[in-house]
Structures are given as C-alpha cells and as structure tokens.
Amino acid sequence: MIRFTVGGKAVTVFPSTAHSAPVIYLNTFADEGEHVQKALQDAGGAPCTLVTVSISAWEHDMSPWAIPPISKNAAPCTGGADEHLRLLVEAILPKAERTLSGEPVWRGLAGYSLAGLFALYALYKTDLFARAASVSGSLWYPDFLEYARTQEMKRTPERLYFSLGDREQNTRNPYLKTVQENTQALEAFYRSRGIRTIFQSNPGNHYANSAVRTAAGLLWLLTD
C-alpha cells in the first residue's frame, strides 16, 4: 500500500501482485477504499491495481454542473467535476502509475453515488478510461440523461457497469425517485451503441453494503 497527497486529496495505491495489470481509479470517501479493497480480495477475481482518491468536498468535486439543494437538508452541488478530473488526469494518475512495476493493461474509473455519476461524466471529457462502474450512481442528476444521450464520449468504453439498491427509487423526492428509470434508460442507451453493459439490482436502500456493491462492480469490469 502506497499513500500520498495531491491537491489536498489523499490517495492510496493498492498495487497488483502481477507485473502488468489493469488499474482502476475509485473516487470515494474517508477510508471506504480500504473496505472496497478488502471486499475485492475476499471475492477473488483477476488481479488489478486499485487507486482510491478520498473526496471531502463531495458535492463540489463529483458534480458536473451546479444545482440547488434537492431537499431541505441537502447541500447544493457546485459543479466542480471538471476541476477534479483535471487534477486526477494531470497529477494523481501520473504519480500513482509511477509507483507501478509495469504499464496498465487498461484503466478503469469507478464510484458510488455522486462518484458513480462522475465516473460516467468523465468519459465525455477524457479518453484515458476504457471501463467504468457507476455503483448506485446519482443518475437522477438534473439534465444528465439528456447530456449523456446528446454528447459524444471521448472514446467508446469496453464495459460499463450500473447498479442500484432495489429500494432507492422508493422516495417522494422528485429528483431521487427517477434514479432507477434513468439508470436503466442509460444502460439500455449505451448497450444500443454496442457497448457491453450490465444493470445489477441489489437488495436495500442507497446506503446498504456500499463497499461490497462497489467491489462487485469492479469485479465485473475485470471479467473478460
């Protein structure tokens, strides 16, 4: 395990034991990355290097554009995704990969909740990532469905993973209740474009078993 800080973001590299392996970048919160890494190890699967980036300004760094609070107690999202992506691509990724013994076979990008939204959004801004996982992704985000359907990705990804808890849409919130409809619509849209995709429904609400759900998404990306 290798730790460093870039631009105020704590980064942890969990190197693969293989000389050349895929590298998956995971935007996450606090120490959740360590729980995901353990869940990955427990589940087995193909070797990979996992690079976790701990996000503190969640509603800023992971949101593609500004929106007001979606509920009384929610914070506004302030649209800092482009800024964070620039830091990831120009500073975090090169420093992380200098610690590796070989070149990445491919790069993936993953995240949970707003970070799952970010994982998809980033594909429209950079061609560095070949696979992505949006785990319980915030695909209810206003105007994102239209954005995704009308803009062009920088490269056609090889694989896209989508998942949700089966109770996530059960809410009165007018934004959040669209999450399953939007997620399945996007999964079908990308599949129609010839991309290999999957939608996985998990038991529970948005907060249930996030590390295990995330690891499941990463394992699917690693399956050839």
Predicted confidence (pLDDT) at residue 21 exceeds the cutoff of 80? yes
Q: Taking Cα atoms as reference points, which of 186, 182, 194, 112 lies closest to residue 158?
A: 194
Q: What is the CATH number of the domain that holds 202?
A: 3.40.50.1820
Strands 77-78 and 107-112: what pairing?
unpaired
- The more confident residue out of 31 and 70 is 70
Q: Which two tokens stand for residue 186?
A: 């996007």
Q: Which residues contact 174 (CB under 8 A, 6 or more apart)?
A: none
| Integer Cα distance of 109 and 155 in angstroms | 14
| Integer Cα distance of 197 and 93 in angstroms | 25
Predicted confidence (pLDDT) at residue 186 exceeds the cutoff of 90? yes
Q: How many domains does the chain have?
A: 1
Q: Taking Cα atoms as reference points, which of 35, 26, 79, 32 lies closest to residue 57?
A: 79
Residue 36 domain boundaries? 2-221
Reported as a single tens digit per residue, the pLDDT across 144-183 is 999 999 999 999 999 999 999 889 888 989 999 999 999 9
pLDDT band at 24 (very low <50, low <70, confident <90, very high): very high
Give the 3-state secondary structure of 32-51: HHHHHHHHHHHHCCCCCEEE
* Mean pLDDT in residue range 197-204: 92
Q: Which residues contact 98 (CB under 8 A, 6 or more apart)?
A: none
Number of Cβ atoms within 10 Å of the Cβ of 19: 10
| pTM score of the predicted model | 0.96
